[in-house]
Structure 1
Amino acid sequence: MSELDRYLNAATRDNTRRSYRAAIEHFEVSWGGFLPATSDSVARYLVAYAGVLSVNTLKLRLSALAQWHTSQGFPDPTKAPVVRKVLKGVRALHPAQEKQAEPLQLQHLEQVIACLEKEGRDARNADNQPGFLRAKRDTALILLGFWRGFRSDELCRLNIEHVHAVPGSGISLYLPRSKSDRENLGKTYQTPALLRLCPVQAYSEWLSASALVRGPVFRGIDRWGNLGEAGLHPNSVIPLLRQALERAGIAGQLYTSHSLRRGFATWAHRSGWDLKSLMSYVGWKDMKSAMRYVEATPFLGMTVATDQLI
């Protein structure tokens, strides 16, 4: 790979690159299309999967086709009026409510953390090091994910060198890049210590238990209690969360990794945060993105000092 290719490659996020590759393969292999494509073939492709794939998925497929044609020096067929008109028709004839993750309510957060803490104590008493480490790791991951409103990929990319925790005070976490940071400028996030469900204490206890001093914060743990060198894959956060919830007696299949982010947003909204403060804290750039995460149903459960988090 040349230096030019290396920098061009770095400009596109890994998840986007994988999605685009899958979209091109779907167009060519699953549907039997040819590249470079014509606007007519792209329009027929949309018709073939209207009502089968969501509008958002079809839009992603169009973005992938547009990127392929542009990068190869061909005219972009997705910009043709017929393609845009067909997509508008698909949206009109196949309206679908956007699926959203169930927000993790505070009472359920308390419940799952209590379960993990009990598992950690039982594992330590039974000299079960793998079980003890998993309990400490999962507690820290869930509490940081909730109180910071982090996405799963952000949690998995946290590095110890970029985290500064002061027990009883607070924690700062630097992310060199994130989905909302299009220019890759990096951003530092801060969260205070809390009297209950404290992410600072959970993080400190995880580092103490794991004896980690550098590299990814959250890693895989094998059956012998050995920690992996690489960080967890973002796709592993959903089963990790669901399994922890199931063990705590909560229907885990209702939740995804976005449940932590939506749970915090809904809690903050119901606790009286104004939308501007919430957007600033979580890192949303536009109001539409923020409102998609705010659940209308009020939360039940414990209360923490909300002024500490603003």
Structure 2
Amino acid sequence: MSDPEHYRQAARRESTARRYARVIEHFEAEWGGLLPASQASVGRYLAEHADRFSPGTLRTHLAALAQWHLQHGFVDPTKASTVRDVLRGIQALHTRPTVQAEPLQLQELEACVEALTREEQGDQAVVRLRACRDRLLLLLGFWRALRSDELCRLRIEFIRLDAAKGLTLFLPSSKTDRANLGRQLSVPALTHLCPVQAYEDWLGCSGLLDGPLLRNVDRWGRIGEGLHSYSIPRILRRILQRSGLEGEGYSGHSLRRGFATWASANQWSSKALMDYVGWRDVQSAMRYVDAEAPFGTLRR
């Protein structure tokens, strides 16, 4: 018999569940709050962290607290007008600029791929294997402007290879796909920095036939489970450092921002870029585009 809890768990994004769990631990263990919480204690919690966390982060903390109370059958204190007034006050008095991830520029992508290609030609099997995976991660993430969690959700059985044209990927779910309908994406074969060739090389090197596309590779060269989204920034920074580049400031959004900046500099229209990446509005897209890069002709 099917277990309803199994499907309830599937409805909640893994990354969101981990983030909410950390919030609850912070509220209880680090701050010393009691659950279920009162409106007054939630208000104090917000006020005491106004200098440390951005208003957006505090809204995430409120969402985590709200979910805990609803799941355990308690009244949600975060919806109280007093709590909302505190949050609005913090927003008014603690407005701060958004910290953007550094975009991975095309020249940096080329330098990284060159360094990884040299590693793939080395003597150590584990270094070759990891470099082959990292080259695919970079090229696929850049040319398809994928988020970290989307890269980690790619499965081999949902990928179709046409060597003459490219790859067809199926994403079972993503951040903007709240209904979990999935999305089909095409990846072109290129003459330079080709993600399709990187995909073929990785399958040949790893011997993988199904399951998660991007996997952990341990110190002995054993291929493990699929990567988690929180490991992508660390892998990216290590690639940059091994390529002789500065890794500070780069995150899981750097590949996505890098592609958007490249496309804008190459005069992609706003509609073409939004359709390709999957953005629903220009405001969302502009958060990823380097301010100095043209964004084509904006049309309403």
TM-score range normalised by the length of the shorter chain? over 0.9
Q: Does 1:251 align with 2:246?
A: yes
The percent identity for this pair of structures is 53
CA distance in 2, matches of 1:143, 1:168: 18
Give the aligned partner of residue 152 of structure 1. Answer: 148
Q: Does 1:182 align with 2:178?
A: yes
Closer/same/farther in 2, CA of residues 223 and 67 from structure 1, 3 Å limit: closer
- SS of the residue 1:172 aligns to: strand
Closer/same/farther in 2, CA of residues 39 and 293 from structure 1, 3 Å limit: same
Q: Unaligned regions of 5+ residues in structure 1, if any?
A: 300-310
- SS of the residue 1:253 aligns to: coil
Q: Does 1:87 align with 2:87?
A: yes
Query: Post-superposition shift, 1:224?
Result: 3.3
| More divergent stretch after superposition (284-293 vs 191-200) | 284-293
CA RMSD of aligned residues (A): 1.8
Query: Post-superposition shift, 1:70?
Result: 2.2
Q: Tell me, yes or no, if the aligned pair for 1:167 and 1:204 is still in contact at 8 Å.
A: no
CA distance in 1, matches of 2:2, 2:158: 30
Q: Unaligned regions of 5+ residues in structure 2, if any?
A: 295-300
CA distance in 2, matches of 1:216, 1:35: 38
CA distance in 2, matches of 1:222, 1:7: 32
Q: Tell me, yes or no, if the aligned pair for 1:168 and 1:200 is still in contact at 8 Å.
A: no
Spell out the pairing of 1:269-288 with structure 2 (5 A cutoff).
Answer: 269-288=264-283
Q: Does 1:224 align with 2:220?
A: yes
Q: Tell me, yes or no, if the aligned pair for 1:221 and 1:227 is still in contact at 8 Å.
A: yes
TM-score, scaled to structure 2: 0.92
Give the aligned partner of residue 11 of structure 2. Answer: 11
Q: Tell me, yes or no, if the aligned pair for 2:153 and 2:172 is still in contact at 8 Å.
A: no
Give the aligned partner of residue 20 of structure 2. Answer: 20
Give the aligned partner of residue 119 of structure 1. Answer: 119
Find runs of 4+ consecutive structure 1 residues off by over 3 angstroms.
Answer: none
Query: Post-superposition shift, 1:2?
Result: 8.1
Residues 100-132 of structure 1 deviation map (CA, whole Å, 9 limit, x = unaligned) = 1100011111111111112212x1xx3x22222
Query: Post-superposition shift, 1:164?
Result: 1.3
Give the aligned partner of residue 102 of structure 1. Answer: 102
Q: Does 1:130 align with 2:141?
A: no
Q: Tell me, yes or no, if the aligned pair for 1:261 and 1:293 is still in contact at 8 Å.
A: yes
- Number of aligned positions between the proteins: 294
The AA in structure 1 aligned to 2:243 is A
Query: Post-superposition shift, 1:155?
Result: 1.3
